[in-house]
Structures are given as C-alpha cells and as structure tokens.
Structure 1
Amino acid sequence: MARVLVLTADAAEELDSMYPVFRLREGGHEAVVAAPSTRAVKLVVHDFEPGWDAYTEKPGHQLPVDLAFGQVDPEDYDALVIPGGRAPEYIRLDPDVDRIVRHFFDNGLPVGTICHGPQVPAALGLLRGRTTAAYPPLKFDMEQAGATFVDAPDVVDGAMVSCRGWPDLPEWSRAFMQVLERSSVPV
C-alpha cells in the first residue's frame, strides 16, 4: 500500500479532488489530504455550459483535511497528487508547498497533476524540459515554464502523470495507478 499525499485548498475542483482520493483508496492505497489548515476545504464544481466562453463555477462539497501543509513530512509519502481548480493558483506561493513538491520531483517519485495542478510545479521551475498536459488555456504558461504541452488525457513523463481536467480522470487514473504500481513502492 502506498501513502499518497493530495495537496489542495479552497476552490479546488470537486471531481479533480475527490475522484483521485476515492480511486487511490479503492486501489488499496492511503490518500492523505493536506491543505493550508486542517479545516475542511470548500470545493467547487466547474462545468461547460452553452453560451459561455469559459467554464462556470458553482459551490461543491467539502473535503476533510488530514494535515496542514506545515505538518507534512514529505518523507512519509510515496507519491503526490495536485488537483486542479483555482487552488493551485495560490497554494503554489506557499513555502511549505514548495518544500513538499520539490521533494517528490527531486526523488523521482510519482506526481499526478490534474487540470490547473501543473501550475504548482511550473511556478517552482520543476517542469523545465518535461512534457505535461494541463487545462488547454494554460498551454502558454506551461511552455513559458519550459515544458512541452500536450493536449491529451493521460500524459506520462517518467514518474509524472498529467491530464487536462476532470473529463480525463478515467484515463489519468489508469495511467497514474500504473506509474504508482511500477514505482519502487511495495504495493
């Protein structure tokens, strides 16, 4: 069983956050949710509606949190997941998030990013020379961070697995679970 850390916060996309947590637990792994504080985070639901140029956002469920970012010892985890939504825009500025995310990249451990999730490693300079998917309007941001952007549902670059958003979660989940199981983690 792997211990997988999920970094999130308020305004994270509901499916991007809950689907991986449930899928990991279904697969026999431990999913541990970390956020800026230990109170439950307020998730949002993003949808694509006719007549809108961008996605819409509505309040979603709350997701219980196990640890605050400052309490996380990344050595205790085998993999990392960063869901999308608006949360990555501001958690990428947190010094503890920097410390945590660098650990996984520096050690070649599995990292999953969904939708806007790649904004975190991009802001930290960790996508330079890597290949990633992301929410398609982030293509320019990913390229400016030195990454090659691919518009696909399950982009695997070494131990990193990324996707464009919640519609890709079945493909992303299969790819992430395969990377997790192939990693040096005893499963």
Structure 2
Amino acid sequence: MGAKKILMIVGDYGEDLEIMVPFQALQMVGHNVHAVCPNKKKGETCPTAVHDFVGDQTYKELTGHNFTLNYSFDDVKVEKYDALVLPGGRGPEYLRLDNNVIEMVRHFVEEDKPIAAICHGLQILAAVGGIEGKTLTAYPACGPEMKLAGADYKDVEPTEVVRDGNLVTTPAWPGHQKWLAEFLDVLGTKISHN
C-alpha cells in the first residue's frame, strides 16, 4: 500500500503536541499530510497552546508555537483524501461550529475512512454524529459529550488507545506512541527494522 493522503483540520489554540507530532510523524513515514484551518490559506499560521498539569484541578494553558498551515482550507476536496486527523486543544470547540468543517468530517465518517482523533478533537465527531455505538475515548472532560452522542465511551489512561474499526482515539498526547502506531496499522503502513 502506498503513501496516503491525509487531511488534518486544525484551529487556533489547538494543542501544540497534538498538532505538531502527528503532522511531522505521518510525513516522516512517507504520508502526504495537508494541515488546514477554516478561513486560512497555505502559509498562514495557527497559534497553538501547550496544556499541562501544574498542580491545579485542571490543566493550565501555556503559549505554544505558531503552526504554519501547508494547504488552503478552501482548496480541500475531501473525496481525494484517504484519512483524517483531528487534534485536540481548544480549536475543536469552535471548529465544530463551522458548517464546512462538519461537512468535511461527515464525509470521512460516512465513507468509513480512517480517522485518528485525540483529546478534544472528538468534540468535532460528536457534533457531526455517526459515532453512535462506536467504542472510543477522549479527554475525560469530553466523556459526557461522547455518551450523549451515543458512543461507547471508555475512560482509559492517557497513554492508552481505543480502536473501533477505522476509528483510532486516545485521551491526550501521552498516548501518541500507541495512537500513531494503531493509526499506521489502519492505514496499512508497515515499518520494518532490518
């Protein structure tokens, strides 16, 4: 199986690691990743945020990087993509309100194309629908939304992954290794060590 064409939908103040790491790792193994944001063009940036625990009851948001988009949102033709990546952070809370984002994501859900979603990225899937009966995970604060959307939500450790068919999910960036390995398996990507 050759290189896949993957769409990544990002938004302002998405989680830095959940954007940067899959964007770079998937390209490193030969896939073509287009990172896009509504109302932005190739070469423009999205500010990211780093979410970390520093002893408070919830995470603290710190300034991340300016992530440079490598494709224009308005040029996306979803039927030409093999898979979708939905990073977390604050971006998904407003991305799920954008009808164009919803229509793009709906295509991947309805066509049962591979989807890797992490953390708050699952909020977009909940808004789209089509996760009824799907076994998945998300950031724990999104658990009630997943249950209300009809998903079989699993509260797992942040280092763990949940796979249901072509849907691969993890609660947060500590799960990158297993999440990306599982997604590569769904994509049919084989890595050998000689």
TM-score under structure 2 normalisation? 0.90
Aligned ranges 1:163-174 → 2 under 5 Å: 163-174=170-181
Indicate yes or no: 2:45 matched with 1:40: yes
Runs of 4+ in 1 over 6 A off after TM superposition: none
Task: Determine if contact 1:69/1:97 at 8 Å carries over to the other structure.
Answer: no
User: Post-superposition shift, 1:96?
Assistant: 1.0
The match for 1:22 is: 24
Q: C-alpha separation between the residues in 1 aligned to 2:126 and 2:186? A: 21
The match for 1:11 is: 13
Residue aligned with 1:45, SS: strand
Q: Which runs of 5+ in 2 are unaligned?
A: 190-194
User: Post-superposition shift, 1:15?
Assistant: 0.4
Match for residue 153 of structure 2 among 149, 153, 159: 149
What does the per-residue CA deviation read over 1:30-67, in whole Å, with 9 as the maximum and x for residues that have no partner?
Answer: 111010112210010000112x0110001111111133
| Identity, % of aligned positions | 39
Q: C-alpha separation between the residues in 2 aligned to 1:16 and 1:40? A: 16
The match for 1:185 is: none
Letter in 1 for 2:153: F
Q: C-alpha separation between the residues in 2 aligned to 1:139 and 1:34? A: 26
The match for 1:95 is: 99
The match for 2:4 is: 2
RMSD: 1.1
Task: Determine if contact 2:102/2:127 at 8 Å carries over to the other structure.
Answer: no
Q: Which runs of 5+ in 1 are unaligned?
A: 183-187
Match for residue 66 of structure 2 among 51, 62, 79: 62
Match for residue 142 of structure 2 among 138, 145, 151: 138
**What is the number of residues matched between the two proteins?**
181
Residue aligned with 1:20, SS: helix
TM-score under structure 1 normalisation? 0.93
Match for residue 33 of structure 2 among 31, 34, 41: 31
Q: C-alpha separation between the residues in 2 aligned to 1:76 and 1:44? A: 30
Q: C-alpha separation between the residues in 2 aligned to 1:70 and 1:9? A: 15
User: Post-superposition shift, 1:68?
Assistant: 3.8
Task: Determine if contact 1:70/1:96 at 8 Å carries over to the other structure.
Answer: no
Match for residue 165 of structure 2 among 148, 151, 158: 158
